[in-house]
């Protein structure tokens, strides 16, 4: 199941204008223009779940695929 949410649900208003770099495509944009998903990542060799910011839903899927799904 794919969960996505607007950063405004999680990021304090004063931080929404901060620049961020998409981990999937390296695009630079502000936090308010991206999306937040519940994703998975590798932490000391263990899979953890957490909130992941990317510039778009498409980037989230490619990021999750390359760094998590490929290891299963
Ligand atoms: Zn991106």
Q: Which of 20, 1, 11 is nearest to 51 (CA)?
A: 11
Q: How confident is the model at residue 1 (pLDDT cuts 50, 70, 90)?
A: very low
Task: List, as ranges, residues with CB under 5 A of the ion ligand 1.
Answer: 22, 24-25, 27, 55, 59
> How far does the centroid of ligand 1 lie from the alpha carbon of residue 35, in Å?
10
> How far does the centroid of ligand 1 lie from the alpha carbon of residue 39, in Å?
15
Contacts of 72 (CB under 8 A, 6+ apart): none
> How far does the centroid of ligand 1 lie from the alpha carbon of residue 44, in Å?
25
> Can you say whether residue 2 is alpha, beta or left, with left for phi > 0 and alpha for psi between -120 and 50 degrees?
beta
The verdict on pTM exceeding 0.85 is: no
Q: Please state the length of the chain.
A: 72
What is the torsion angle, in degrees rounded to the nearest 10, for the CA atoms of residue 18, residue 22, residue 23 and residue 26?
-120
pLDDT digits (tens, 9 = 90+) for 30-66: 999 999 998 888 889 888 888 899 999 999 988 887 6
């Amino acid at each position: 199941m794919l969960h996505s949410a607007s950063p405004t649900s999680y990021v304090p208003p004063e931080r929404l204008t901060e620049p961020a770099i998409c981990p999937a495509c390296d695009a630079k944009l502000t936090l308010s223009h991206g999306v937040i998903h519940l994703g998975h990542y590798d932490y000391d060799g263990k899979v953890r779940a957490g909130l992941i910011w990317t510039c778009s839903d498409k980037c989230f899927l490619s990021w999750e695929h390359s760094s998590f799904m490929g290891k299963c």
